[in-house]
Amino acid sequence: MPRALVTGGAGFIGSHVADRLLKEGFDVHVLDDLSAGFRRNLPPQAVFHQLDINTKSASELVEDTAFDVIVHSAAQMDVRASVADPVFDAVSNITGTLNLLEALRRSERKPRFVYTSTGGALYGDFETPPHAETIDKDPASPYGVSKLAVEYYLAYYGRVHGLDYAALRFGNVYGPRQDPRSGAGVIGIFCDRILDGRPLTIFGKGMQTRDYTYVSDIVNAGWLAATRDLPPPGRLDARAFNVGTMVGTTMLDVAALLQRAAGTELPIEFAGTRQGEQQESFVAIDKARRVLGWEPQVSLADGLSATYEWFADDRLTGAIERP
């Protein structure tokens, strides 16, 4: 039976990836320190290791276990938290990842390492979207900088140490299990507000665009990146793939579409622009189409309905502690 490790597998994206790998017949291990994830997201059939990626125990797990695939999604993923504390962001996102990459360098085993990078925070505001993988990158936040730094390390480990990797640059991912308390993931936050009957808050004028991508499409991309033949490692972007819809939707439009799905008309409140926030963001996906054979399947309207329904059901079962 093939074996996979999903770091961050108690979180939003990682838990969906773990579900898929189980469905595909993998023996799935999850490594997560539960700093932002939840036990309830863990698939019962997975082997759970409650560990910080920065620890010796985490590197020993990676060095000593015969994994065929590692999907690395453990990270601090909040742009605002990275602006407030870039050191914390770098320790989580850069040194934590390096700890795992060094373990792989020491190991005899060569699993495919799939990195969950960002297309939404990597490119910055100097180039007009849709952003292709190869454009110049000037991240607007320390979070974007740390994600880009890891991609440089991946390219280095690929060239010099034969690391077999893929870097997936996601748009703005949404769907069931997204944590509305995380401060990231506006759709989860809006769903919570709608269910509370509170106004929706938009930072800035609401004209900033995002490439909203439903989580099942992200999982499909992860599966293809884990299993497909890939071009040889080389320059930074050789094994990087944007994963989005190639459509930029404004914050105002997403609020309106979600309210339509929910059947509500709550007022919008406007607050000041947030530091480190990219203004325009949507990604070109020709490369993922061509090389991975990937295509987004879920329309924004359908994805928003499914997400809102999940949040409404979740209220009934009441598992998330709300602020």
Just list the catalytic residues. Answer: 143
Q: Which stretch binds ligand NAD (CB under 6 A): 156-164, 178-186, 198-206, 255-263?
A: 178-186
Q: Are 295 and 154 in contact (CB under 8 A)?
A: no
Say whether residue 74 binds ligand NAD (CB under 6 A). yes
On whether the CB atoms of residues 155 and 148 are closer than 8 A, the answer is no
Nearest CA to 300 out of 250, 266, 263, 265 is that of 250
User: Do 103 and 62 meet the contact criterion of CB atoms below 8 Å apart?
Assistant: yes
Tell me: does residue 76 bind ligand NAD (CB under 6 A): yes
* Dihedral angle, C-alpha 23, 37, 274, 127, nearest 10 °: -30
Question: Beta 172-174 vs 240-243: how paired, if at all?
Answer: unpaired
13 touches ligand NAD (CB under 6 A) = yes
Q: Give whichever of 95 and 160 is closer to ligand NAD, judged by the CB atom.
A: 95
Residues 96-155 that bind ligand NAD (CB under 6 A): 96, 116, 118, 120
Our CB check for ligand NAD shows the closer of 193 and 210 to be 210
Task: Count the residues of the shown chain that bind ligand NAD, applying the rule CB under 6 A.
Answer: 31
Site mask, ligand NAD, residues 275-304, x = CB under 6 A? ------------------------------
53 binds ligand NAD (CB under 6 A): yes
Considering only residues 5, 21, 67, 73, which one is a binding residue for ligand NAD as defined by CB under 6 A? 73
Instruction: Report the residue number, 194 or 283, with the smaller CB distance to ligand NAD.
Output: 283
The set of residues, in sequence order, having a beta carbon less than 8 Å from that of 201 and lying 6+ positions away, is: 193, 268, 269, 270, 271
| Minimum CB distance to ligand NAD, residue 45 (Å) | 18
Instruction: Classify residue 131 by its DSSP letter.
Output: B
Binds ligand NAD by CB under 6 A, chosen from 2, 22, 27, 34: 34
Among 12-20, 99-107, 229-237, 288-296, which window interacts with ligand NAD (CB under 6 A)? 12-20
Taking the C-alpha atoms of residue 134 and residue 140, their distance in angstroms, rounded to an integer, is 17
Give me the least distance between CB of 93 and ligand NAD, in Å please.
7
Which listed residue (4, 5, 28, 36) binds ligand NAD by CB under 6 A? 36
Cα(227)–Cα(232) distance, rounded to whole angstroms?
A: 15
- Contacting range for ligand NAD; rule: CB under 6 A; set: 3-11, 101-109, 153-161, 282-290: 3-11
Neighbours of 196 (CB within 10 A): 11
Spell out the residues 6+ positions from residue 229 whose beta carbon is closer than 8 angstroms to its own.
none
By the rule CB under 6 A, 170 interacts with ligand NAD: yes
Question: Among 49, 89, 93, 43, which Cα is nearest to 73's?
Answer: 93
Q: Which of 179, 192, 211, 280 binds ligand NAD (CB under 6 A)?
A: 179
CB of 297: closest distance to ligand NAD in angstroms? Answer: 18
SS3 74: coil
Task: Kindly tell me the sign of the dihedral angle through the C-alpha atoms of 241, 247, 252, 254.
Answer: negative
Cα angle 174, 180, 184 (rounded to 5 degrees) comes to: 65
- Which residue ranges make up the site for ligand NAD (CB under 6 A)? 8, 10-14, 32-37, 52-54, 73-77, 92, 96, 116, 118, 120, 170, 172-173, 179, 182, 185
